[in-house]
Amino acid sequence: MENQQILMLIIYTTFFCFIPTSSTITPNQSLKYHETLVSSAGTFEAGFFDFENSRRQYFGIWYKDISPRIIVWVANRNVPAQNSTALLKLTHQGDIVILDGSGGRVWSSNSSKTAVKPVLQLLDSGNLVVKDGESSDNFLWESFDYPGDTFLAGMKLKSDFVTGPYQYLTSWRDNDDPAEGEFSYMIDTKGFPQQVTTHGTTILYSTGPWNGYLFSGVSWERMHRFLNFSFEFTNKGISYGYETLNSSVLTRTMLKLNLRGATERFLWSNQRQSWDIVNNHPTDQCEYFATCGVNSICNVNNLPICECLQGFTPKFQAKWDSHDWSGGCVRKTKLSCDNGDWFKEYTGIKLPETSSSWFDRSLSLQECETLCLRNCSCTAYANSDIRDGGSGCLLWFHDIVDMRTHNDQGQEIHTRLPFSERGNFISISILCLFVRFS
Ligand SMILES: *[C@@H]1O[C@H](CO)[C@@H](O)[C@H](O)[C@H]1NC(C)=O
Ligand SMILES: *[C@@H]1O[C@H](CO)[C@@H](O)[C@H](O)[C@H]1NC(C)=O
Ligand SMILES: *[C@@H]1O[C@H](CO)[C@@H](O)[C@H](O)[C@H]1NC(C)=O
Ligand SMILES: *[C@@H]1O[C@H](CO)[C@@H](O)[C@H](O)[C@H]1NC(C)=O
Ligand SMILES: *[C@@H]1O[C@H](CO)[C@@H](O)[C@H](O)[C@H]1NC(C)=O
Ligand SMILES: *[C@@H]1O[C@H](CO)[C@@H](O)[C@H](O)[C@H]1NC(C)=O
């Protein structure tokens, strides 16, 4: 028995001696099919792969030792090499190039910086990097700057306030085609930053604006038990990412954007040796963008699920009654736009879409209300950050859209109403009092 184990060990060791697996490549080395790079702790592996019944070759990164294999990044996702004679090389300038059988360039990393002693390395985070010198921490190029369909811990999604998102996820086109598909998962910074998943140029669903913990529509308390999320505001834009809280317990985690635009967050269970899906979107009908049209609230526990906000009535009553809510709701009475207007507080809410909102992260909720009252087109306000009792000011103008009751916690929003709505409320109260005491 013992001999057998020793023999196995020898076979195992020899096997690894002959397969060139290392975590780095220098300009004089290359990788061909069946040769791989392995990160130092053995978490990730990078190399050429293909799909059944196809001679198209891709260079990608996957979790080592997990089957079925999950590809987390593909270099030449739009431009496969046509057969297994493909080769990956690092040039003396520090560019990664993929060559086909005839030596033609299929793909190049196009690094803007040139190296003196470039080294290509696969890190244990799953980041494939080009460094200048073995011990340098300065990356000339890194795969984390070019996300595919998988959001790994340590990666950042980024958006510029002026030019918009420039690091975001894009779905695969098909199960055996990693080319850029039609769905994208990004941080929209047209107004206050929010997460949106788009299908082409339209929003499929949004998990809502950032609230200090996470996005307004997700179960942020639960997610914070596993992961440490970060959301950095700079003058130019935002950067969103996450880290695992305790890497000795949680070794592998990822968020995948699938072929139909849904997102699934996976955690690896060492105990069961399988993936757990801890969060996925969209989960219900209320999550699809603007299900109930404008100025309404979606609640999956109600029947029908759509209801107009207080002070509003369906724009097309007959359609609304037949569950076509796309027309949304309109005001029963115009805002007076003077001091008679007031705000109704809704709690337990996923905040509405923010692409035409305004924000100031230093104002208080009081100042926020004052600002909103002062502008006739302002229709709602809320704190932009709900941590530590709330801070910052977020204003909505004209119609508000994609508001729903939250599945667990939710937050507060104040919607603007004309004096007459308060009047109704007061007269109903008086009537009730009258009925009670008579
Ligand atoms: C790489 O190859 C070139 C020429 O083939 C040689 O001059 C150089 O010393 C080699 N570099 C390394 C690090 O082996
Ligand atoms: C591989 O592809 C190259 C061109 O991309 C071609 O020249 C070569 O003949 C092909 N090899 C095989 C075995 O198909
Ligand atoms: C690198 O540059 C070449 C030539 O400008 C271009 O064809 C190719 O698409 C670029 N590759 C990437 C990955 O951007
Ligand atoms: C979360 O990450 C930040 C740095 O981004 C760090 O300062 C903080 O201590 C981390 N929190 C936890 C609970 O690990
Ligand atoms: C991480 O988890 C391990 C095992 O449960 C524990 O021993 C260790 O103290 C934890 N580390 C931190 C920083 O929480
Ligand atoms: C009200 O807010 C809108 C949107 O920010 C802005 O365009 C408009 O100028 C403001 N009006 C006043 C009177 O401040």
Closest ligand 2 atom to the C-alpha of 83?
1
Q: Are residues 12 and 122 in the same domain?
A: yes
Q: Are residues 117 and 165 in the same domain?
A: no
Residue closest by Cα to atom 14 of ligand 2? 83
Pocket test for ligand 1, best of 26, 28, 120 (most atoms within 8 A of CB): 28
Task: Judge whether 300 lies within some domain.
Answer: no
Q: Are residues 30 and 87 in the same domain?
A: yes
| 128 CA to centre of ligand 5 in angstroms | 28
| 105 CA to centre of ligand 3 in angstroms | 10
Cα 197 to Cα 383: distance, rounded to the nearest angstrom: 24
List the structure tokens of 423.
């009047």
274-281 and 263-269: which strand pairing?
antiparallel
Closest ligand 3 atom to the C-alpha of 75?
13
What's the domain range around 334? 329-431
Task: Please list the rounded mean pLDDT of every run of 10 residues in the chain (438 residues).
Answer: 41 40 84 93 95 91 94 97 89 94 91 87 96 85 98 97 97 97 98 97 97 96 92 96 78 93 93 90 96 97 96 97 96 87 96 97 97 95 97 97 94 95 60 49
Q: What is the pLDDT of residues 258-316, one digit of tens each?
A: 999 999 999 998 888 899 999 999 999 999 999 999 999 999 999 999 999 999 999 99
Question: Which among 230, 255, 261 has a CA at the least distance from the CA of 158?
Answer: 230
Task: Judge whether 296 lies within some domain.
Answer: no
Q: Which ligand is nearest to the CA of 33?
A: 2
- CATH number of the CATH domain containing 371: 3.50.4
pLDDT recorded at residue 54:
87
Q: Are residues 134 and 105 in the same domain?
A: yes
Supply φ then ψ for residue 14, to 5 degrees.
-60, -40
- Which residues line the pocket of ligand 1, CB cutoff 6 A? 26, 28
Cβ of residue 108 lying under 6 Å from some atom of ligand 3: yes
Q: Are residues 173 and 277 in the same domain?
A: yes
pLDDT recorded at residue 3:
45
Q: Are residues 254 and 375 in the same domain?
A: no
pLDDT recorded at residue 290:
97
Q: Are residues 126 and 29 in the same domain?
A: yes
Length of the chain equals 438
Task: Judge whether 298 lies within some domain.
Answer: no
Q: Which ligand is nearest to the CA of 89?
A: 1
| 436 CA to centre of ligand 3 in angstroms | 78
pLDDT recorded at residue 198:
98
Closest ligand 1 atom to the C-alpha of 27?
1
Question: Do 386 and 409 meet the contact criterion of CB atoms below 8 Å apart?
Answer: no
pLDDT recorded at residue 8:
40
Q: Are residues 333 and 246 in the same domain?
A: no
Task: Judge whether 318 lies within some domain.
Answer: no
Task: Judge whether 323 lies within some domain.
Answer: no
Q: What is the pLDDT of residues 91-121, one digit of tens each?
A: 999 999 999 988 899 999 988 888 889 999 9
Closest ligand 6 atom to the C-alpha of 397?
4
Domain count for the chain, please give it: 3
Question: Do 34 and 15 meet the contact criterion of CB atoms below 8 Å apart?
Answer: no
Provide the sign of the torsion angle of the four alpha carbons 320, 354, 180, 157, taken in this order: negative
